[in-house]
Structure formats: structure tokens, C-alpha cells
């Protein structure tokens, strides 16, 4: 029987995270409960393993690392090792069996999107959450570019933070865990951001907090902008608070990839969401919390090409970290930082 190294999101769920990584598993689970998620496909952890073994990359990396018998002692060595491993992996071709399965699934997405070269996101998906540690590529168009970015995502299992973390634990860098990869159609976002189903600073579980900005959500997740803030009461869905952020820049699609643009002056002091969009995002977030049985930290986007309510999509969800009923001012600050930094 042919091994399936590539699996559509519709055929996976939350329990499949050891196979495809947490992000992909949760996207499949969200689709299964009727959440507005764009259908895509996952490359399994086994696909990464096959690539490393069949291309000889794993062997070459082990041989190279034999030159560091005492491990890595400082950041400079971690940077040197990471750079060399990137070169090794980047020189390899994806094995034909994986390439054919990726091609077939990408073509399915293209047919659904009515185009020969669909714009997609190529996202990392670790078995264990390492928020923001691995690479993500947005607005990738065409088979060859998708193949290239998949290899780059696999390479990021050996980026400097990953190499440093493994080395610090006293483990061999050569044994860094393989990861999954998700490929899904890009959303041309008018606005995007994150939603917490418990207040991220106070720990109040009766409130939902939405942060959003113009363009793609990476500007919010990375902290590149001060986003708009909305606080919603869970019971009534009443919007208790609105704060306009200083949204000076936005990320938008270029011909290939994304670029940062200045936000027009008239939009900088305008809220990026309507009241009905705020309430719908909150309502959907509550559905996620009920299904997963715990507070959620999720990413959403508003499609510029659709009208309400069909314009709202969810990009991923994860358990919300550091939720407590009562916290000190210092703890609240730490939680806010964690909620921004953690989440793959």
C-alpha cells in the first residue's frame, strides 16, 4: 500500500497531531465541526523523515556535527551550525513520491480556486508547540515555489533558536525533531488578528478579547503594530470596550510573497472591524472553546473579497496559555508577552 505523506485537512483531526503536527491537526478538527476554515493539506512528519533519509541530508548533517564532539558552546557556534545545515538541506530535492502527492493535492486546491496557480500559505506544524520558532511563508504561487518553501520549512527545524534549544538540553542537534507542514489557500485579508476566549491580562473567563489590524495577521502576532482592541462579554456578546490602535503598517500580498506597506492616514485611526464582525468572531471563538474544553487563542482573518458573514475565516487555534482567575500586575504583563509570542 502506498504511504500517504500528504493528507487533506478534511481527513485529519486533533488526535492526529503526532502524524501531521498540532497546527494541521487542529485545522482538520476545526473543519470537522463546521468552523470557517479554508481546506488545505498537510505533509506528515514521516514526509520530513523520508526527505532527510532518502536525500542523504541526515547522514551529511551527522558527519558535519562530528566536528563538534563536545557539543555547541555558544551562540556563534549555533549560528555557524545552523547556516551549514540550511545549506545541506537546501541543496536537496524533495523525493518524487512526496513531490507527486504534493502536486496532486495542490492541483485539487487550484481547481477549487478556479486557477492553475493558486496562492497559498506554507506553514510549519510541530508535534510539540514551539510558537514562532519555525518558518511560515505567505502568498506562495506555483508548484515549484511550493516545493521550495516546503524544503525551507523543513530547514527551519535547524534554525538558530532550534539548534540552541536542542543544544541547551544536551541533545544532539542531528536528532532535532521532524515537523509537519501545512499548505492552505491564502486569504486576501482586509483585516486580521487574534482572539482570546479568556482575558489575556486579567484572566477573566467571562470576557473575550480580540486584537486586530489592517492586512494580514502576522503584523499583530509579531507585534509590528499596536492593534485595535475589542473586549466582549461572553453571555450577551455585548462589546464592552473598543480601543483604536496605531496601525501604521500592514502586510499585503505582492506578486509572490508579502510586503509591508504604510496604512493610509484615514484608516490608521479607524477600527478595522465592524460591530457585527466583532460579534461573529467572538461567537465562533466561543464555539472553539466549547469544543476543545478550554480557553483558546486563535487567529482569524476577514476576506476582502467576500461579504459578511462569509468573509470571516479562522487560521488556527491553540490552548490559551497562562490563564488565571486573579493575577498580579507583573503576572499580567508576562501573560500578555507570552500570548503574543507563543502559539504555533
**What's the CA dihedral at 212, 213, 215, 217 to 10 degrees?**
-40
**Confidence (pLDDT) at 69:** 84
As a whole number, mean pLDDT of residues 340-344 equals: 43
Burial zone of 2 (CB within 10 Å; 0-12 exposed, 13-18 middle, 19+ buried) = exposed
Q: Which domains does the chain have, with CATH numbers?
A: 6-185 (3.30.1490.20), 189-341 (3.30.470.20)
The overall average pLDDT reported for the chain is 90
Portion of the chain with pLDDT greater than 90, in percent: 78
Mean pLDDT across the stretch 155-168? 89
Omega before residue 309 within 30° of 0, cis: yes
> What integer pLDDT is reported at residue 327 of this predicted model?
42
Residue 169: per-residue pLDDT: 79
The residues with which 213 forms a beta bridge, in sequence order, are 192
Higher model confidence: residue 164 or residue 96?
96
- Tell me the average pLDDT across 104-110: 97
With cut-offs at 50, 70 and 90, classify the pLDDT of residue 241.
Answer: very high
Looking at 43-47, 79-83, 87-91, 338-342, which range is the least confident one?
Answer: 338-342
pLDDT tens profile 271-328: 999 999 999 999 999 999 999 999 999 999 999 999 999 999 999 999 998 664 434 4
Q: Residue 335: its pLDDT value, please?
A: 47
Please tell me the predicted confidence (pLDDT) of residue 337.
46
In angstroms, the Cα distances linking 299 to 211, 302, 339 are 10, 11, 12
pLDDT per position as a tens digit, 171-187:
788 888 899 999 999 99
Inter-residue contact 118 to 110 (CB < 8 Å)? yes
Helix (H) or strand (E) holding 295, with range, is none
Closest listed residue to residue 266, CA positions, set 248, 283, 279 = 248
The pLDDT value recorded for residue 240 is 97
Section 84-109 average pLDDT: 97
Distance CA 129, CA 244 (A): 31
- The pLDDT confidence band at residue 334, using thresholds 50, 70 and 90, is very low
Report the DSSP beta bridge partners of residue 78: none
**Nearest one of 42, 48, 35, 53 to 11, comparing CA atoms:** 42
Measured CA to CA, the distance from residue 196 to residue 170 in angstroms comes to 35
Q: What local confidence, expressed as pLDDT, does residue 323 receive?
A: 61
How far, in Å, CA of 325 to CA of 169, rounded? 33
153 near 125, Cβ under 8 Å? no
* pLDDT of residue 196 exceeding 50: yes
Residues 288 and 197 sit within 8 Å (Cβ to Cβ): yes
Reply yes or no on whether the pLDDT at 8 is more than 60.
Answer: yes
More confident residue, 170 or 322: 170
Q: Is-contact 264 247, C-beta < 8 A?
A: no
3-state helix, strand, coil in the chain (%, to 5): 40, 25, 35
Predicted TM-score (pTM) of this structure? 0.88
Please check the confidence at residue 84 and state whether its pLDDT lies above 90. yes
Q: Which three cell numbers stand for residue 101?
A: 502527492
> What was the pLDDT predicted at 164?
87
Amino acid at each position: 500500500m502506498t504511504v500517504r505523506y500528504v493528507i487533506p485537512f478534511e481527513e485529519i483531526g486533533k488526535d492526529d497531531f503526532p502524524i501531521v503536527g498540532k497546527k494541521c491537526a487542529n485545522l482538520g478538527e476545526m473543519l470537522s465541526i463546521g468552523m470557517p476554515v479554508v481546506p488545505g493539506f498537510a505533509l506528515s512528519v514521516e514526509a520530513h523523515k523520508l526527505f532527510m533519509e532518502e536525500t542523504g541530508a541526515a547522514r551529511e548533517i551527522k558527519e558535519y556535527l562530528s566536528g563538534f564532539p563536545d557539543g555547541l558552546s555558544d551562540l556563534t557556534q549555533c549560528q555557524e551550525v545552523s547556516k551549514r545545515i540550511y545549506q545541506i538541506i537546501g541543496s536537496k530535492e524533495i523525493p518524487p513520491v512526496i513531490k507527486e502527492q504534493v502536486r496532486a493535492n495542490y492541483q485539487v486546491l487550484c481547481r477549487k480556486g478556479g486557477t492553475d496557480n493558486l496562492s497559498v500559505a506554507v506553514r510549519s506544524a510541530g508535534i510539540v508547540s514551539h510558537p514562532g520558532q519555525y518558518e511560515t511563508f505567505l502568498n506562495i504561487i506555483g508548484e515549484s515555489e511550493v516545493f521550495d518553501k516546503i524544503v525551507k520549512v523543513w530547514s527551519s527545524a535547524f534554525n538558530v533558536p532550534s539548534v540552541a534549544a536542542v543544544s541547551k538540553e544536551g541533545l544532539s542537534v542531528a536528532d532535532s525533531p521532524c515537523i509537519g507542514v501545512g499548505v492552505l489557500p491564502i486569504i486576501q485579508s482586509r483585516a486580521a488578528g487574534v482572539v482570546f476566549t479568556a482575558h489575556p491580562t486579567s484572566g477573566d473567563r467571562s470576557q473575550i478579547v480580540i486584537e486586530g489590524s489592517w492586512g494580514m495577521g502576522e503584523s499583530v502576532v509579531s507585534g509590528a503594530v499596536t492593534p485595535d482592541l475589542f473586549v466582549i462579554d461572553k453571555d450577551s456578546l455585548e462589546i464592552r470596550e473598543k480601543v483604536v490602535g496605531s496601525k501604521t503598517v500592514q502586510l499585503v500580498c505582492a506578486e509572490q510573497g508579502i510586503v509591508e506597506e504604510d496604512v493610509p492616514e484615514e484608516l490608521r485611526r479607524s477600527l478595522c472591524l465592524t460591530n457585527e464582525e466583532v460579534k461573529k468572531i467572538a461567537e465562533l471563538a466561543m464555539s472553539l472553546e466549547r469544543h476543545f474544553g478550554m480557553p483558546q487563542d486563535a487567529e482569524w482573518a476577514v476576506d476582502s473579497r467576500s461579504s459578511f458573514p462569509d468573509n470571516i475565516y479562522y487560521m488556527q487555534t491553540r490552548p490559551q496559555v497562562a490563564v488565571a482567575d486573579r493575577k498580579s500586575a507583573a503576572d499580567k504583563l508576562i501573560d500578555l508577552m507570552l500570548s503574543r509570542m507563543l502559539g504555533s
